[in-house]
Structure 1
Amino acid sequence: MTISRRQFCAALAAAGISATALSAAEEKREALRVIAYNVYVCKGWPDDRPLAKTASKSGQMTRRTAMELALYEPDVINFSESPSEEMAKEIAGYLGMNHVRFPSGGNWPGTLLSRYEIVDAVNCPLGYPRPKELFTRHWGKGTIKLPSGDLIVHSAHLMPGPDPAVRLKEVKAMLTSMKEDLDAGRSMLLIGDLNHGPDCEEYKMWIDAGWVDTFAKVGEGDGLTIKADTPQYRIDFVMATGPIAKTITESRPLFEGAFRVNTADSNSFALSDHLPQLATFGEMK
């Protein structure tokens, strides 16, 4: 099911956002707002709670997800553990965004959404067939046409678990694929659930290659992104390199609204077990 812009604006108004304010914000914005979000297949978390089950079965989760994300006026969104193609398309429609799907080597596809045109997209851009054990979650590369020029976005969800062996191979393969763009100094983002913390060898590899962790640059506190009731780990990232990395103004996990579980309420559920990671970039000169 799809809704018209009028219906969506009415829904936004119910959430406290006027259509006029939304349009004005769109017109005056020069910043780029990016969100990395593992959406847990858009089934809510904990997904065994009665209200989460009702929201999921009734088809409410796409509208709920879109409305909550719309509060932050995002320009680019990455979904890890994306829902079905139909649901992802519906969310993109509510948000007025283009989208591209990155199939998974297993059952965890990704989706890149943008209010700007996505002019090119490649799934698992290794330049050779994907090794069976690598990128079983997802990795894709998209090029987004911004007013200031092309922006390359790597959408990624790396192997989970305490053993980093596969993740280290994934990071090495990705950096090899990215080398030409890194060497050329192109503006790029790496966004997604990387399934490692900032104290791991995988993280050091990103930083040594020239990637800037937006939260480490401008964030406050610990920046924990999982789980949505009592966060303990920071594994969701927005990283940047090239000219855009010099314009970071904000980076924080969204431990608020429908993205978090109210631990004092046994009926409460969040949209996912992860928190979204928001980063804002200023205008590139």
Structure 2
Amino acid sequence: MSALPTDAVTAGGSAAEAAPTAVGGAGGRIALRERGASLASVVIPPLLVFAVVIGVWILASQVILAEDKRFLLPPPWAVVDVALLDGHNRAELFTGLWLTTKAAMVGLLLSIVVGMGMAIAMSQAKWVERSFYPYAVVLQTIPILAIVPLIGFTLGYDFSSRVLVVVLIALFPVITNTLFGLLSVDQGHHDLFSLHKGGRVTRLLKLQLPAAMPAIFTGLRIAAGASVIGAVVGDFFFQQGTPGIGVLMNTYASELESERLYAAVILSSLLGIAVFLVVTWLERRVVGRWHTATRGTR
């Protein structure tokens, strides 16, 4: 058999070496386009909704409302100018927001610790669940607005009372979702641990808690939003001391300071969104894609 010409071998080798590079480059460009399309699908819809909301706001404040009632719905630029660009108003709003944030975060952390502790205890002993779960349900069904004045009368109107209101609102979602996750583990997995003589603590740490993580974080997301609501509700009722964002809302509403009132409402909403996003980020770090309940949804 005659040998191939040197030029042919060289050309063939160059083509063989260039082919993977071309394929890899094309694959990288395709992956980049897919990531860009995925990012656009996540970012563009909320931006479109935001633009529509701002457009409706401007239309209502400038066209729909009568001239003598437009002060009730100031345009977005008036809210930004009066409430956020003015140094005094901005400092007042962000100071109140910080105090409300502290109450919400401390109450949320306490709710997580107490709620998960109670749920774990209920999952390990049926008599504990029968003893305490009905009271958790009763606590959830009592209107919080009826409890808040009682808290003020008995415990005072300081920071701890605000935190207690947050705990009362955010506790139930943590308990119910954590308990649901712990009790929903497949029986076959329990049988496997029993076969290998896994103890109660081992079963809890290596089976029940990991399997319950999606349900736990569902409860945490609900509790995150509820914690901000509880902090604002506490501010509305506990007027003493340094005012939080809820106290400022009440003051602005009574004084017909519509620009500052809308700014306070928007900042409170942004606080709730921020807390929710932090919990969602933690869920993705802890749960990620490994759990069957999150596959195909991330």
TM-score range, shorter chain: under 0.3
What TM-score comes out, normalization by structure 2 length?
Answer: 0.20
Greater Cα radius of gyration, structure 1 or 2: 2
Under a length normalisation based on structure 1, what TM-score does the superposition of the two structures give? 0.21
More strand by share: 1
